Amino acid sequence: MAESQLHPSISQAKIQALVKTLAAKISEDYKTLLEPNEDLLFVITLKGALFFGADLVRNISVPSQIDFVRLSSYGKGTQSSGTVRFLKDLEASPQGRHVLIVDEIVDSGRTLQFLRKHIEASNPKSVRICSLLSKPARREVDVVVEYLGAQVEDRFLVGYGLDHAERYRNLPDIYELK
Ligand code: IMP
Ligand code: MG
């Protein structure tokens, strides 16, 4: 079999433009939702949303806090196993808080559906989802993404946190892996 090849898909400059647009919209919306002395709780999904989450929260102008979760995902293949479980749960309690989940890409939607339900079960004030990318063609379950950067085709992407067998996460741009 030929070696995998990386084809440029979304540039660093384009990613940063998407981040700024999302952060401006989120800041605007939560400015009126948050009460005085209330912080928005960002729940960033590891490992994929590490860089997106870091870039996003640094462009947010409302008071905020960050927490991390890690959910089981693809392992070494490119297909989701369909079952989701926690490798690391939240540290902060979402009860009575405005929570914004941050993911880098929505594929089947199972991860985010699971995470949203989990957080909703502890009575937060609100839960919304922000994802840099979405592959609508791959959706298996309905999940509302309130803040979406861009839709992409059904292609396997790497870079800017996205991996294939744990490789390529550190690339500043996003590539299609063929
Ligand atoms: P879902 O539960 O099927 O929606 O899977 C979502 C997760 O799968 C994402 O947060 C990523 O971690 C991973 N994922 C989905 N598509 C890709 C891709 O094209 N490249 C790398 N990881 C992906
Ligand atoms: Mg992810």
Percent of the chain with pLDDT over 70: 93
Q: Which two tokens stand for residue 159?
A: 């870079």
HEC states along 74-110?
A: CCCCCCCCCCCCEEECCCCCCCCCEEEEEEEEECCCH
Q: Are 101 and 49 in contact (CB under 8 A)?
A: no
Cα separation, 131 vs 144, whole angstroms = 10
- Summarised one tens digit per residue, pLDDT across range 51-100 is 999 999 999 999 999 999 999 865 445 555 568 999 999 999 999 999 99
| Ligand 2 midpoint to CA 124 (Å) | 22
27 CB less than 6 Å from ligand 1?
no
Q: Tell me, using a 6 A CB cutoff, whether residue 106 lines ligand 1.
A: yes
- In the residue annotation, 107 being an active-site residue is answered as yes
